[in-house]
Amino acid sequence: MGKKSGGSPDYPDPSKTAAQQAVMNENTARVNATLNRINQYTPYGQQVFTDLGRQWELANPGQPKSKNPYRDQWRSDIKLSPDSEAAVKAEMLNSRLLQELGTGQIGRIGEAVSGDLDFSGLPELAGSGGYADQRKAVEDALYGRATSRLDPQFEQQQRQLETSLANKGIAIGSEAWNRAMDQFSRARNDAYAGARSDAISGGGAEQSRLFGLDLGARQQGITEALTRRNQPLNELSAILSGGSVATPQFAPAGAASVAPVDYTSLVNNKYQTQAQAAQANQQNWMNGLFGLGQAGLTAYFGR
């Protein structure tokens, strides 16, 4: 019989594979961090990165890396140009002075808001019947002005009508006389009723006007009272909002990235390849045994 050729490979140890994968991932992360620590130099200043772990290793040659207290630690230093530094210092000084000025406003704010809002001196608004006397006076004035024109006008028209009727031989008290006078009376009454209606409308308009004046005066008073109360707060808000300090900003550099090695997949693929090869060798060995047995039987029975 032929000798069995090769055996199945041992299955990879998951713990060792995971540990080796972790080491590779750590090294990849360290490379990515190094690639992205890009020094920047601009007209406003510079930003420089320092590898503290590497600095320690250079200062302590021969020491094991496990003793390195700064391993994988970086420092970022920003140094402004002389003009930028002067501008920042000036803004910081202005900010401090504004903050001190704002602190001085606190007392004024306390005085302004310590009491309730006082509206006692503002114009009072009349109720639904307000300004009645003013309205009646306007109505009477408007009606009187209208009748001062209507009275002589209708007196003249009446004399003219009576004269015209008499000239036509229409007797006083006759049907024709009464009909003509009735038409004249209706026209006169309509004219006076229209004058009264116009006077009432004018009185209402005057009442609304007076109410609007008082309402506007009251609203203006309320606005002024609120302004006096809120002005210290507004001034403090304006002072504090002007106290920010702006420093030059450095644009982030384009990120660089190195993909980690998939060590686990490599180990598993290698195992699968070896297992398939071992299986093929096992099958070939079995086929060889079968061929030897068949040849022996053929030789025995063929004698």
Tens digit of each residue's pLDDT (9 = 90 or more) over 2-47: 344 456 788 788 888 888 888 888 888 888 888 888 898 988 889 9
Model-level pTM?
0.41
Residues 4 and 85 in one domain: no
- Tokens 């009251």 belong to which residue? 218
Domain assignment of residue 29, yes or no: no
| Higher pLDDT pick, 296 / 94 | 94
| Higher pLDDT pick, 95 / 132 | 132
Residues 133 and 161 in one domain: yes
Count of positions (residues) in the chain: 303
Residue 253 tokens read as: 């550099």
List, for residues 239-288, the tens digit of each pLDDT value: 666 655 556 666 665 565 667 778 788 778 877 787 777 777 777 766 76
Residues 141 and 163 in one domain: yes
Percent of the chain clearing pLDDT 70 (strictly above): 78
Q: How far out from the chain centre does Cα 62 lie?
A: 58
Domain assignment of residue 31, yes or no: no
The pLDDT value recorded for residue 2 is: 35
For residues 40 and 57, the answer to whether their CB atoms sit within 8 Å is no
Residue 59 pLDDT exceeds 90: yes
Q: Show the domain range for 52.
A: 45-79
The pLDDT value recorded for residue 60 is: 93
Range name among 177-186, 202-211, 228-237, 238-247 with the lowest pLDDT average = 238-247
Residue 135 pLDDT exceeds 70: yes
Give the domain-ending residue among 79, 104, 131. 79
- Tell me which residue of 13, 12, 31, 5 sits closest to 257, measured CA to CA: 31
Domain count within the chain = 3
The pLDDT value recorded for residue 183 is: 93
Burial 237-260 (b: 16+ CB within 10 A, else e): eebeeebeeeebeeeeeeeeeeee
Range name among 84-98, 176-190, 229-243 with the lowest pLDDT average = 229-243
Q: How far out from the chain centre does Cα 283 lie?
A: 73
- Calpha distance 146→140 (Å, rounded): 10
Q: What are phi and psi of 48, to 5 degrees?
A: -125, 135
The pLDDT value recorded for residue 209 is: 86
Mean pLDDT for the chain? 79
The pLDDT value recorded for residue 87 is: 85
